Amino acid sequence: MGKLLIPLIALLVSAGVFVGYIKPTYDDVKILQFEDSQFNQALDKSRELQEVRGSLLSRFNTFSEADLARLQKMLPDNVDNVRLILDIDGVASKYNMRTRNVQVVQDSSATPEIIGLDTRPFDSLILSFSVAGTYDGFINFLRDLESSLRIVDVLSLTFQSNRIGDLYEFDMSIRTYWLK
């Protein structure tokens, strides 16, 4: 019986050591290996992103300051109502017109079909104003506004004749955009 008891005890002790120490330690090693592979993947991704960032930065540095200023004017990264109104007034003054009755409205109805979080990278506002001048002057004003760097959409346009000469009163609403 002694010959059978010693191997049985050795087998039970080895099973206990396996269940109590080796298996949990092996599971911990497996978890650490998995975490290590995830960290290595994240590190590889980080290197790729750094390479992309470097190439984008080198491309960005090839743009001239004038081009960057034009791009900033075309699609600014903030709302600058005063600058926009002054720009429009400057264009109008070239044709002996002045902007009047200026109203700025935050454009909340730009995309009413979107429900939930607005993830658009841009926002817009509506600017309404009036100018008085000749029809030809107004057409030239619209052409200059169309070819200006700032992106604008004409939403509405009404005009009426004044009793004095060939002057007209033009009421406009435009939408302009900026990056969020």
Average pLDDT value for residue range 72-99: 84
Question: Quick one: pLDDT band at residue 137, thresholds 50, 70, 90?
Answer: very high
| pLDDT at position 108 over 90 | no
Question: Quick one: pLDDT band at residue 1, thresholds 50, 70, 90?
Answer: low
Average pLDDT value for residue range 99-117: 71
| pLDDT at position 93 over 60 | yes
Question: Quick one: pLDDT band at residue 116, thresholds 50, 70, 90?
Answer: low
Determine the pLDDT at residue 113: 59
**By percentage, how much of the chain surpasses pLDDT 70?**
91
| pLDDT at position 160 over 80 | yes
Determine the pLDDT at residue 142: 92
Determine the pLDDT at residue 104: 87
CA dist 121 → 67, 104, 162 (Å): 21, 21, 43
Among 111, 130, 136, which Cα is nearest to 173's? 130
Q: Which of 8-12, 74-78, 100-104 has the lowest mean pLDDT?
A: 74-78
Establish how many alpha carbons lie within 13 A of residue 117's alpha carbon, considering only the half-sphere containing its beta carbon.
Answer: 2
Q: Who has greater pLDDT, 109 or 179? A: 179
User: What does DSSP say about strands 168-179 and 152-161: parallel, antiparallel, or unpaired?
Assistant: antiparallel
Mean pLDDT of the chain: 85
Question: Quick one: pLDDT band at residue 115, thresholds 50, 70, 90?
Answer: low
Q: Which CATH number fits domain 74-108+120-179: 1.10.8.640, 3.50.50.60, 3.30.70.60, 3.40.190.10?
A: 3.30.70.60
Tokens 């998995």, located at residue: 34
